Structure formats: structure tokens, C-alpha cells
Amino acid sequence: MAKLRSKYVCSECGYESSGWMGKCPSCLKWNTLIEEVFEEAPVQSRALDLTLPQITPLSEVEIHALTRIKTGSNELDRVLGGGIVPASLILIGGEPGIGKSTLILQVCAQISQTKRVLYVSGEESVGQIKLRADRLDAVSDSVYMASETSYERIEGLILKEKPGFVVIDSIQTIYSENLSSAPGSVSQVREVTAKLLRLSKKNDITVFVVGHVTKEGAIAGPRVLEHMVDTVLYFEGERHLDFRILRAVKNRFGSTNEIGIFEMTSKGLFDVANPSSLMLEGRSSDQPGSVVVGLIEGSRPMLVEVQALVCPTSFGMPRRQATGMDYNRLTMLMAVLEKKVGMQLNAFDAYLNVAGGFKLDEPAADLGVVAAIASSFRNKKINPSTVFFGEVGLTGEVRSVSQMDKRITESLRLGFQRCIVPGLNKSIVSDYKNEIEIVMVSTVEQALSETLS
């Protein structure tokens, strides 16, 4: 008879221990070890299969071209590297209500034109999913629905129906009957994902898995979960705004620098072919503190509006608040303005906002942020047809950034007439001197004198 035993498993990294510890020795996180009860099955003597796998010299391995599956969304195909690779396991995570199930249901309707699709939900009934499909106009005779949480039953259903595309929504609700731990536990998530991986590769089935995220924004479950799958996608954005950003943090078949931008409507998610226009929509161009910066996300240039508000503080300690940008980066740039430009900001509150809920991760936005703060502090508006991009150093210098030609071309396409750029790439001026005014600066003080004088 099997014996019941308990072990403690880290919810962050999957480390196992026979006793509870306050701090995980592997990932060094506190209070992450959770007790799980399992059955210790008796050891049974059995004949081992000693058949060795066949080996092939690398030079003789034949590569068969894999035709990627188009999803019907240019943005999703861009993030995946050109489409879905057959027999791959893809994990998508995001906050509740961000649009994961909506996107996947639309993809199922498109893929069902060429393949049988099986959608397995552990959170919703078949009728609830049908209501969403009617709203999205994503009803198809080749999309089959099932509401089930037992992996063994799901596997039997897959082997019986032999679909070409499977969706599991979500991985935290599926459990294996071979384990006694609760669904969503570290052991269950790891075991079910490993079985799905073997099922996908052995039967040439593409599997799309939905994962919940923790309060820190990472996919819930052990970190080994992300290592097991082929592709990890994160859905980002504010639920109260119209657009969503899909980002690949791991992709064995493509780049992880690409992002996809979607607009959420009552009819579902739609591709945003021109994200710069969306980010600049409703911009107030006649107010101080508003600046447009040029960014590069993956291979795509984007223009984003940065807003700053500087006002006298009512407290002894001035307040600094950044939405869409790292707080420490903001305080560093304000220190540069105080030291190198002479702006006495120690008695003023400073608020920074990136319009549209976009997040600035690229140092090329530094020059625009500095210009927005200085514009609000001096109460002088900047010419609305001006674009900034450049990295700012601690000594007040403006450093060069990559792919300047793409940023300038995007500015030119949207009708901007002036670019404030780092002065190190002088060769770029001759390429655009007859199309757009390019002002090259080497210091922050020089950039502000060119725009606020």
C-alpha cells in the first residue's frame, strides 16, 4: 500500500525540501516553500527497456522545411517570428481580463480553416465560451470545445480526435490524477507541462497554453515551466486602455525583440498597423511639458508622447512620481538637470507620464524626458513638430543611439519637421538634409538652448 508523505516545494523555482524553511536556498526568496502531500508508491520490479536510440552524424541530418502556420494576425505572426512552428508548445501569460482568451479564440477561428482545433477550458463552460465566440464572430465548425480539468481525460480526447492545434486554458487548472497535490501547485504544473510537451512532439500537435501571472507580473508556477516550452509570450497593457502589447520573452524559433500591438474593441482584438499615430492621438501640442520621443521596439520605430509636470512642493520633501518609466531613471535625469544645467528642482514636485500607458525601457528616451521636465519647469512649450532621441549620461553628455535612420524616417512619415539627435552620428545629416531639419547636440544644455530659447 502506498504511503502518504509530505514535502515542501518552492513556488518560485521548484526547489524541494523535506522540511519547511523560511528562505529558499535556491532562489533566495522568502516564504515560498509550500507543503505538498504525495503518495510514495512501492518499488516494483520490472524489466528495463535498454533499447538505445539511433544516432546520426550532424552532417547527415536532413532538415525538412517547416511551413509556419499563419494566425491571421500580422502582429502575432511578427512576435512569433513569421507564424506558429508546427509541433511547438507556446505559453502565453497576462493579467486577468487583458485579452488572452480573446486573442486565442480569434486565432483558433483562423487556424480552423486548415486544421482541426480543440479548445479545452478548465475555467469556463462550453456555453460561456460560445457566448464570447459569438461576440467575436469567431464561430467555426472545425473548432471543438471541451470543459475538462483532468489531464488523463484530455490526453485521451486528443489522441482520439487527433487535432492539429490544441488550446489549454489555463495550465493552472489542469491536474494529473497520478499526483495527489492540488491543481495549480508546483508539482502539478510541472508534471502537466512535461506531459503536454511529450504529447506535442510525439504526435506533431501544436499546443497553446494559457498561464496566470503573479502579482509581480511573472507567470505563476516554477521557473522551469518557462524553460520547458518553446515560446513564452506576455500580454501587457492597462485594462482600462484600448491597446495591448504582446511581447516575446523566449522564442526558440525567432527573435525576442519584436512586439505586437493590438487594439481592444467590442468585437475583439485588432492589429495596429500604425502604432505611432495611436500613441500620439489626442496630443495637446500647445502646452509646456509635452514632448515626442523616438523609440525602437524590436525592428519597429515608434513615436511616443512624454508628459511632465513640475510644480512647487507643499511638503518638506519634494515628490517624484513616474508612470511608464523607471523611477530611479527619472531621479537620475533630474539630478543631471540640477547639476549640469543649474535648475533648482529640489523645491518642486515632478510628475512624469508616458501617454497611452506605454512603458519606456530604452535609454534613447532620456533626452525627451529631460526636455519635458525643463519645458514644464520653465513654463515654455516646445515646438510640437520636434522629436527627441538620445541617451543622457551623468556628466550631461548626449550619447548616440542605434538605428537613427529608422527613427528619423518614422518622424518624417508622420509629418514632423525637426529632430534633436546626438551629435556623434554626423553622417546621418547628409541623408535627410533636404527632407527634415536635424539638430545635432552633444550636451543637455545645448539641447535645451536649441528648443527652449
Per-residue pLDDT at 2? 58
Quote the number of domains for the chain: 3
Which residue shows C-alpha cell 484600448?
242
**Domain match, 156 and 263 both:** yes
**Domain match, 241 and 291 both:** no
Q: Is there a domain that residue 264 lies in?
A: yes
Q: Is there a domain that residue 57 lies in?
A: no
The letter for the amino acid at 61 is V
Cβ atoms of 12 and 223 closer than 8 Å: yes
pTM of the model: 0.77
Confidence of residue 90 (pLDDT cuts 50, 70, 90): very high
Task: Give 30-59 pLDDT, tens digit per residue.
Answer: 888 888 776 655 555 455 566 788 888 988
Q: Which one of 254, 273, 292 terminates a domain? A: 273
**Domain match, 262 and 284 both:** no
Task: Give 91-142 pLDDT, tens digit per residue.
Answer: 998 888 888 889 999 999 999 999 999 999 998 999 999 999 999 998 999 9
Q: Is there a domain that residue 316 lies in?
A: yes
**Domain match, 235 and 317 both:** no
Element (H, E) at 243: strand 243-251
Q: Tell me the pLDDT of the chain averaged across its residues.
A: 86
Distances (CA, A) of 48 to 6, 45, 51, 52, 54: 29, 9, 9, 12, 18
**Domain match, 245 and 351 both:** no
In degrees and rounded to multiples of 5, residue 335 shows phi and psi of -65, -35
Q: Is there a domain that residue 50 lies in?
A: no
Per-residue pLDDT at 242? 77
Q: Is there a domain that residue 435 lies in?
A: yes
**Dist CA 175 CA 393 (whole Å):** 52
Q: Are strands 231-236 and 243-251 parallel, antiparallel or unpaired?
A: antiparallel
**Domain match, 89 and 31 both:** no
Q: Which one of 250, 273, 296 terminates a domain? A: 273
Q: Is there a domain that residue 329 lies in?
A: yes
**Domain match, 193 and 291 both:** no
Q: Is there a domain that residue 101 lies in?
A: yes
- CATH of residue 243's domain is 3.40.50.300
Cβ atoms of 176 and 195 closer than 8 Å: yes
Confidence of residue 339 (pLDDT cuts 50, 70, 90): very high
Confidence of residue 198 (pLDDT cuts 50, 70, 90): very high
**Domain match, 246 and 322 both:** no
Q: Which range, of 71-85, 104-118, 251-265, averages the lowest pLDDT?
A: 251-265
Q: For the packed helices 327-336 and 366-378, what is the interaxial angle rounded to 10 degrees?
A: 60
Cβ atoms of 374 and 290 closer than 8 Å: no
- Domain with 159, as residue range(s), is 68-273
Confidence of residue 66 (pLDDT cuts 50, 70, 90): low
**Domain match, 103 and 246 both:** yes
**Domain match, 214 and 82 both:** yes
**Domain match, 108 and 249 both:** yes
Per-residue pLDDT at 45? 47
**Domain match, 101 and 176 both:** yes
**Dist CA 232 CA 254 (whole Å):** 11
Q: For the packed helices 126-136 and 100-111, what is the interaxial angle rounded to 10 degrees?
A: 80
Per-residue pLDDT at 214? 65
Cβ atoms of 105 and 138 closer than 8 Å: yes
